Amino acid sequence: MHTLGINAVYHDSSACLIRDGTVVAAAEEERFTHEKHAKRPVPFSTWELPYHAIDYCLREAGIDLVDVDHVAYSYDPHLLGGQHRGATTITLPLEPSAHPVPSEWEAAWDPLFLSSIVNAPRQLADGAPHHLRARFRGARPDGPYQWHFVAHHLAHAASAFHASPFDHAAILTLDGRGEQATTAYGLGDGNQIAWLGQVNMPHSLGILYEQVTSYLGFLHSSDEYKVMALASYGKPAFLAGFREVVQVGESGQYTIQPPCLIEAFLRWSKLPYRRMSDVAAEVATLLVRDQVIGWFQGRMEFGPRALGARSILASPIHAEMQARLNDIKDREDFRPVAPVVLEEEAAKWFVDAGVSPFMLFVHDVRPEKADRIPAVRHVDGTARIQTINRSQNARYYDLLRTFHERTGVPVLVNTSFNTRGEPIVCTPRDAVESFWTSPLDALAVGSFLVQKQPREA
Ligand SMILES: [Fe+2]
């Protein structure tokens, strides 16, 4: 009995021929085409089969493709697009990555990827290049061999366990990814493999390794061995960071958490900081205590106004806050500071206030509210307001709403995060420098809080 194994989905496409349980030949396609790793693991190359390697294996065995009894292909498309099993059609947009990923797919190119794999039997029967056709002649999409799509990690496990000298063994497989699995573990017993568990996308130690390879300037899915060699020259300077990225869970599970660049910076700078569990609640508490907060969140604003991404925030409830802020920013003392107000509350606090997300319009403060927000009321009774709703900036909105719940005032002072003559801060480092060289009380940078000695202490 002859079994032909084909690996083709990602990289290092290859073939293997087994006769009655003995390996007759195995080869990688790159040896024949002189293209290293045979192909790049991109959706457009998924259909390519290792024809030269297959031809070589058949030749070594002295048979043609039609003499093969079983073909095993090391990927099971039904595990990728299970909901499409048995479907006669799927939809492939003409420019998949130009549109949002449809909910039934994990990635934009999955439909093309899936169709390339599902059609591998047709491709094997019809696609061999002209100079190799002799040994492929007579093959049809339905055989005469029997086709088997094999779960990717089962193929990895089988290639290691069945070739090992052990009858019983623990099995652990890790790669970039298979269909869903990125890691699998189980027990091998005789010719049986029983899985105990697997880790699924998007958590993949292999892809993390690929990303490190790319980050270092090498080609991923290719040059990982160079990183291995380079590692011997290094010291584990980033061990703590990687331990945060890779979180070990129960029963063989792990997750990969994207690294937080802000936290990496704070750690690097040796600043005392802590992660807030509820940013809105904790910062609102400081604002209620009349602390002045540097607020650095997400991408920065475009244009001259700080709108809640690079802002200095304070309570408007006491009149002296305006002078304090002008002192912190080293501004002329006649200049007003502006308010941000919950969009749904704006008209109750400012005359004729509509939606004003860019802080462009001046309104009179309603006379009955004037003594509640003296710090943002200019000498002529006006204020240039920013209105905010939750869809514009959820964290900023939640902060304001929490402050409203605690004080009855849906308004904060919002002035740009900069000190004298400086443009608005850009990076976390700018924010930290501005914070430590001015009398700001606390800095909320992402989910992290940096504080000086509390004023009341
Ligand atoms: Fe793999």
Helix (H) or strand (E) holding 296, with range, is strand 293-296
The SS3 call for residue 277 is coil
Q: Which residue has the tokens 């604002």?
A: 287
| Res. 97 pLDDT band, cuts 50 70 90 | confident
Inside any domain, residue 158: no
152 CA from centroid of ligand 1 (Å)? 6
Asked whether residue 56 falls in the same domain as residue 172, the answer is no
Whether the pTM exceeds 0.75: the reply is no
Whether residue 457 has pLDDT greater than 80 = no
How many angstroms does the Cα of residue 316 sit away from the middle of ligand 1? Answer: 59
Domain final residue pick, 88, 117, 150: 150
> Is pLDDT above 60 for 346?
yes
Ligand 1 centroid from CA 183, angstroms: 10
Domain of residue 59, CATH code: 3.30.420.40
Over residues 6-65, the pLDDT tens digits come to 999 998 999 999 999 999 999 999 999 998 888 888 888 898 999 999 999 999 999 999
Indicate whether 95 and 200 sit together in one domain.
no
User: Both 28 and 140 in a single domain?
Assistant: yes
Distances (CA, A) of 67 to 2, 30, 135, 136: 7, 25, 10, 10
Q: Is the same domain home to 318 and 396? A: yes
Rounded Cα–Cα distance for residues 32 and 120 (Å): 21
Torsion over CA: 367, 371, 377, 380 (sign):
positive
CA 342 to ligand 1 centroid distance, Å: 52
Query: Is 455 a residue whose pLDDT tops 60?
Result: no
- pLDDT score recorded for residue 88: 86
- Between CA 360 and CA 338 the distance in angstroms is 11
- Structure tokens given for 264: 């990496």
State the distance from the centre of ligand 1 to the C-alpha of 178, rounded, in angstroms.
Answer: 6
pLDDT above 70 (res 141)? yes
- Residue 438: which CATH number? 3.90.870.20
pLDDT at 222 over 60: yes
Distance of CA 156 from the midpoint of ligand 1 (Å): 7
With a cut of 90, say whether residue 135 has pLDDT above it.
Answer: yes
Q: Is 34 exposed, middle or buried (0-12, 13-18, 19+ CB in 10 A)?
A: exposed
Structural domain of 135: 2-150
Residue with tokens 């939606």: 355
Assigned token pair, 361:
């319009």
Rounded Cα distance, 132 and 141, in Å: 17
The pLDDT assigned to 122 comes to 95
Examine the domain organization and report whether 290 and 221 are in the same domain. Answer: no
Q: Are 350 and 408 in contact (CB under 8 A)?
A: no
Residues 99 and 192 in one domain: no
- The CA 75 to ligand 1 mean position distance, Å, reads 9
**Is position 69 within any domain?**
yes
Calculate how far, in angstroms, residue 153's C-alpha sits from the geometric centre of ligand 1: 7
Helix extents (H) in 4-151: 30-33, 51-61, 77-80, 110-118, 120-126, 133-136
Task: Report residue 454's pLDDT band, with 50, 70 and 90 as the boundaries.
Answer: low
The answer on 433 and 338 residing in a single domain is yes
CA separation, residue 245 to residues 124, 166, 177, 370 (Å) = 41, 35, 18, 50
Please answer whether residues 318 and 290 qualify as being in contact, where contact means their C-beta atoms are separated by less than 8 angstroms.
yes
* Cβ atoms of 424 and 310 closer than 8 Å: yes
Cα of 179 vs centre of ligand 1, distance in Å, is 9
Q: Give the Å distance between the CA of 9 and the centre of ligand 1.
A: 9
Structural tokens at position 420: 């004298």
- Asked if residue 156 is part of any domain, the answer here is no
One domain, residues 228 and 374 = no
Cα of 127 from ligand 1 centre, angstroms: 24
Instruction: Give the domain-ending residue among 259, 289, 311.
Output: 259
Mean pLDDT of the residues in the chain: 92
Mean of the pLDDT values across residues 118-129? Answer: 93
Assigned token pair, 243 = 């331990």
- If one counts the domains in the chain, the total is 3
- Is the pLDDT at 260 greater than 80? The verdict is no
Q: What is the CB-side half-sphere exposure of residue 419 using CA atoms within 13 A? A: 16
Cα 5 to averaged position of ligand 1 atoms, centre (Å): 14
- Residue 263 confidence (pLDDT): 86
Is 443 part of a structural domain of the chain?
Answer: yes
Give the percent of the chain with pLDDT over 70.
99
Same domain for 251 and 292, yes or no, is no
Q: Is the model's pLDDT at 456 over the cut of 80? A: no
Distance 10 CA to ligand 1 centre (A): 8
Are both 220 and 366 inside the same structural domain?
Answer: no
The CB-based long-range contact list for 244-247 (8 Å cut-off, 24+ gap) reads 245/208, 246/205, 246/208
- Do 432 and 288 reside in the same domain of the chain? yes
Residue 157: inside a domain, yes or no?
A: no
164-190 tens-digit pLDDT: 999 999 999 999 999 999 999 999 999
**Cα–chain center distance at 365:** 44
How far is the centre of ligand 1, averaged over its atoms, from the C-alpha of 361 (Å)? 59
Shared domain for 39 and 129, answered yes or no, is yes
